Chain A
């Protein structure tokens, strides 16, 4: 996603400039059509909507591709986040997909062969939360090169802040807890990054792992002091509420007392998706700034970076603070979404899960964090479906006897295999696929 990874702009003889309307029109279509499709009820059945969706997908992708500035680019055009036809096309497709997805999942469509459509919504929401946290982890470990295992400590910090600010002080107001968690995460993250000024690689990893255990002690103490063994409940009367301005969204009816409680997958999606998308776009943009380039320089060789005039200490601490702030926010979201957090919510296995997500998705790529968390949460669902429905899998008793263990084994083998043979992970495979697609398209219509 970084600017340096994009192929150089094609130096075609002809310079082409779309008008401002043309530049934005595909994105406007992608933003509007899902809501029209979602608000029409009764008169259009599922299959007609599916056909319209596919048609709009193709049209949006084609228009975004076509109406891209070409030829000699100005500096301003060259610095845009979505610069090439391919970037703009995928961005429009992703936007359309993210907006249309909740309406598709909320429809009462039953796919053939008992495909686990109904469970997908919960999985998608979990993927959104985990993608945010994993992307922040990747920013710190992969992009800035500061090895840290204190990731789960900040999820716990987010839960603590959610418990103090969100539950104890304001009775379920997530909107105070989120900025508070970001602030607390930034401060504590900068403190946890202090060893990075002196230690590197292995020793930094061990030091941050020590921080993990200290934070676990704080978490257990906090739980015992205020909540006891049941843990914090983020649901019921502590469910997050929101101002009722979201009522205009199709499919969302106002509650009886004018209050808008975030429950149910559909509402959660509209809360989680914007937060995740904005924070990931934020990280993608940070990487493109002066600070972001300083991260990479410090990662590659910190002494050389200091000779270039980069304040190495500041850069390292900033990376820790930024990553920890976003991870803490995802911790708040996860606490409120999952609904309860207890003594054993955070353990070494959670650290392992994030490592699996990052490795499978692709190390040091923010895109990879999204792919990795999607894979991590969808694999068990698909595996469960295959065990129950597919005839050639259903008859293997061994698989149905040990479902979760085999799931774990599959993940472990995948980590090993991907690290051995395909270190770029799913993000690397996606890049290869895009390159292949570009070559094929170029060959078919030159």
Chain B
């Protein structure tokens, strides 16, 4: 990275453009990372299927908003409700039985869910790629020689709103309190009369709804909607790790940091360096501070 910054001579407007592009990308990463964090925080499951959940959201958005041509707000409502039902389905159908299983077995079962979703989407939607969504305002404006798209600002606002909403939810509602209690110590929480099963179901539903929001937003900025957009799930890992896998606010900061770093690597080193640089940053953060910037530290008893 130092090398990269050492030899760039580009004019400031290019760097400003890269910075803005990085923040826009980072906002998307933050949406995805928020989904990871929600699930990991309360159920201790690393959900490798989140990229597929997001793809599901994008395709459903396509169905409800474009094919069925519903009113925007009604369509979004239907989308989120359907995603909520799917989240409950994932919990009551599959993940409920996996509570208490080994860590890697649960990771593998999320990979299995990812495979199923990918195959079913291929069967029902086919391999042809669709044009990206165009329901949010499409314009852009100039700031100091750099272009800022309206969509990016909206994504940014939605992410910030979601984080704030979840923060208030965890802090002030009864269900949020239950979620925090279960995340802290599931046995003690169960002894206090909290039903962990319900809390887990709500968590999966919330993560799925976040994936629906993410799919709707990502559907506006991706090149085209096809089965390759699931990769966003994996590419958002560095963001989640840098921010700390148990911190809601961390996911937004991590997303922005990783997004900007990736865009600068993209601009100054070339496209192929994007993923390696992002994952190297993650690697360094893991080695220096495994819990991320704001993660919860655990003590281990022997």
In the complex the two chains form, what is the Cα distance from A432 to B245 in whole Å? Answer: 40
Q: Within the assembled complex, what's the spacing in Å between the Cα atoms of A423 and B106?
A: 11
Are A413 and B302 in contact (CB-based, < 8 A)? Answer: no
CB pair B112–A408 under 8 Å, yes or no, is: no
Looking at the assembled complex, report how far the CB atom of A208 sits from the nearest CB atom of chain B, in whole angstroms. 10
Report if A217-B113 is in contact (Cβ < 8 Å); known contacts: A205-B46, A206-B237, A210-B280. Answer: no
Distance (whole angstroms) from the CB of B104 to the closest CB of chain A = 5
- Asked whether, in the complex, the Cβ of B112 is within 8 Å of the Cβ of A419, the reply is yes
Cα–Cα distance between A411 and B119 once the two chains are bound (Å): 10
Interface residues of B in 140-193 (CB under 8 A from A): none
A355 within 8 A of B: yes
The stretch of B1-9, B209-217, B269-277 in contact with A is B269-277
A126 part of interface (Cβ distance < 8 Å):
no
Q: Which of B46, B115, B123 contacts A356 (CB 8 A)?
A: B115
Interface residue ranges of A332-359 to B (CB < 8 Å)? 348, 352, 355-356, 358-359
Which residues on A sit within 8 Å (CB–CB) of B104? Answer: 141, 147, 201, 205, 363
- Residues of chain A within 8 A of B119, CB atoms compared: 405-406, 408-409, 412
Q: Are B282 and A304 in touch, CB under 8 angstroms?
A: no
- B267: Cβ under 8 A from any A Cβ: no
CB pair A415–B272 under 8 Å, yes or no, is no
Asked if A443 is an interface residue, CB under 8 A from chain B, the answer is: no
User: B279 near A: Cβ within 8 Å?
Assistant: yes
Q: Which of B107-126 contact A (CB under 8 A)?
A: 107-109, 111-116, 118-120, 122-123
Contacts of B123 in A (CB 8 A): 402, 405-406, 409
- CB-contact partner of A205 in B105, B107, B276, B283, under 8 A: B107
Asked if A214 is at the interface of the complex by the 8 Å CB criterion, the answer is yes
Segment of B27-35, B94-102, B194-202, B248-256 engaged in the interface with chain A: B94-102
Q: Tell me what chain B mostly uses at the interface: helix, strand, loop, or mixed.
A: helix
A147 CB contacts on chain B under 8 angstroms: 103-104, 107
- Minimum CB–CB distance for A223 against chain B, Å: 11
Q: Is A199 positioned at the interface, with any CB of B under 8 Å from its CB? A: yes
Chain B min CB distance to A37 (Å): 42
Q: B112 touching A195 by the CB < 8 A rule?
A: no
**Cα-based distance from A348 to B114 in the complex (angstroms):** 12
A-contacting residues, B188-241, CB 8 Å? 231, 234, 237-238, 241
Q: Say which residue of A348, A359, A409 sits within 8 Å of B120 (CB atoms).
A: A409
Contacts of A206 in B (CB 8 A): 237, 241, 282, 286
Please tell me if A420 contacts chain B, counting CB pairs below 8 Å. yes
With A203-B286, A209-B237, A363-B105: A415-B280 Cβ-Cβ less than 8 Å? no
Which chain B residues lie closer than 8 Å to A419 at the CB level? Answer: 98, 101, 105, 108-109, 112
CA distance A220 to B273 in the complex (A): 11
B99 CB → nearest A CB, Å: 11
Bound-state CA distance A147–B98 (Å) is 18
Q: What is the CA–CA distance of A405 and B118 in the complex, to the nearest angstrom?
A: 9
Q: Are A420 and B94 in contact (CB under 8 A)?
A: yes
Is the C-beta of A202 less than 8 angstroms from some C-beta in chain B? yes
Closest CB in chain A relative to B95 CB, distance in Å: 10
* Closest partner residue, chain B, to A302 (CB atom): B302
- In the complex, A406 Cα to B122 Cα: how many Å? 9
Do A416 and B109 have beta carbons less than 8 Å apart?
yes
- A260-291 vs B, CB cutoff 8 Å, 1 = contact: the mask equals 00000000000000000000000000000000
Alpha-carbon gap, A203 to B240, bound state (A): 12
Name the residue in A195, A202, A406, A423 with the highest tally of chain B Cβ atoms < 10 Å from its Cβ.
A202
> Smallest Cβ distance from A167 to chain B, in angstroms?
23
- Nearest B residue (CB) for A348: B234
Are A405 and B286 closer than 8 Å at their CB atoms? Answer: no
Contact status B115-A217, CB under 8 Å: no
A62-86 near B? 1/0 per residue, CB < 8 Å: 0000000000000000000000000
Contacting residue for A411 out of B101, B115, B238, CB 8 A = B115
Also in contact, A412 and B101, with CB within 8 A (given A214-B280, A348-B231, A420-B109): no
Contact: B108 with A423, CB < 8 Å?
Answer: no
- Counting contact residues on chain B (CB < 8 A from A), the size range is 35 or more
Query: Contact string, A342-383, partner B, CB cutoff 8 A, digits 1/0?
Result: 000000100010011011000100000000000000000000
* Chain B, Cβ-Cβ closest to A413: B116
Q: Does B299 contact A (CB under 8 A)?
A: no
* Distance of A303 Cα from B245 Cα, bound (Å): 25
Q: Which residues of B contact A415 (CB under 8 A)?
A: 108-109, 111-112, 115
* B292 to chain A: closest residue by CB: A203
- Which B residues are CB-close (under 8 A) to A304? 302
**With A405-B123, A415-B115 given, is the CB distance from A214 to B108 under 8 Å?**
no
Q: Which of B97, B101, B122, B280 contacts A402 (CB 8 A)?
A: B122
Whether B276 lies near A214 (C-beta < 8 A) is: yes
A220 to chain B, nearest CB (A): 6
A412 CA / B119 CA spacing, docked (Å) = 8
* Minimum Cβ distance to chain B for residue A95 (Å): 33
Query: B287 an interface residue at 8 Å Cβ cutoff?
Result: yes
Question: How many whole Å from A396's CB to the nearest CB in chain B?
Answer: 13
Q: Are B302 and A408 in contact (CB under 8 A)?
A: no
The distance in angstroms between the C-alpha atoms of A195 and B286, with both chains bound, is 9
Question: Please, how many angstroms separate the alpha-carbon atoms of A394 and B112 in the complex?
Answer: 27
Which of B111, B245, B290 interacts with A198 by CB under 8 Å?
B290
B290 contacts across to A, CB distance below 8 A: 198-199, 203
Nearest A-chain residue to B104, judged by Cβ: A147
* A206 to B242 Cα, complex, angstroms: 12
Q: Is A430 an interface residue (CB 8 A)?
A: no
**Chain B residues whose CB sits within 8 angstroms of the CB of A413 once the complex forms:** 112, 116
Output the least CB separation between B255 and chain A (Å).
Answer: 16
Chain A residues near B283: list those with CB within 8 A.
Answer: 195, 207, 210-211
In the complex, what residues of A have CB within 8 A of residue B116's CB?
Answer: 409, 412-413, 416
Apart from A205-B104, A420-B109, 13 more pairs, CB < 8 Å: A147-B107, A202-B46, A206-B282, A207-B286, A210-B279, A301-B302, A363-B104, A402-B122, A412-B114, A415-B111, A416-B94, A419-B101, A420-B97
Instruction: Pick 6 A–B contacts, CB within 8 A, sort by A.
Output: A199-B290, A201-B103, A210-B280, A217-B276, A412-B119, A416-B113
Q: Which 10 A-B pairs have the closest CB atoms?
A: A412-B115, A415-B112, A210-B279, A409-B119, A412-B116, A408-B119, A416-B112, A405-B122, A217-B276, A213-B279
Chain B residues at the A interface, C-beta cutoff of 8 Å: 46, 94, 97-98, 101, 103-105, 107-109, 111-116, 118-120, 122-123, 231, 234, 237-238, 241, 245, 272-273, 275-276, 279-280, 282-283, 286-287, 290, 302
A contact set with B: CB distance below 8 Å: 141, 147, 195, 198-199, 201-203, 205-207, 209-211, 213-214, 216-217, 220-221, 301, 303-304, 348, 352, 355-356, 358-359, 363, 402, 405-406, 408-409, 411-416, 419-420, 423
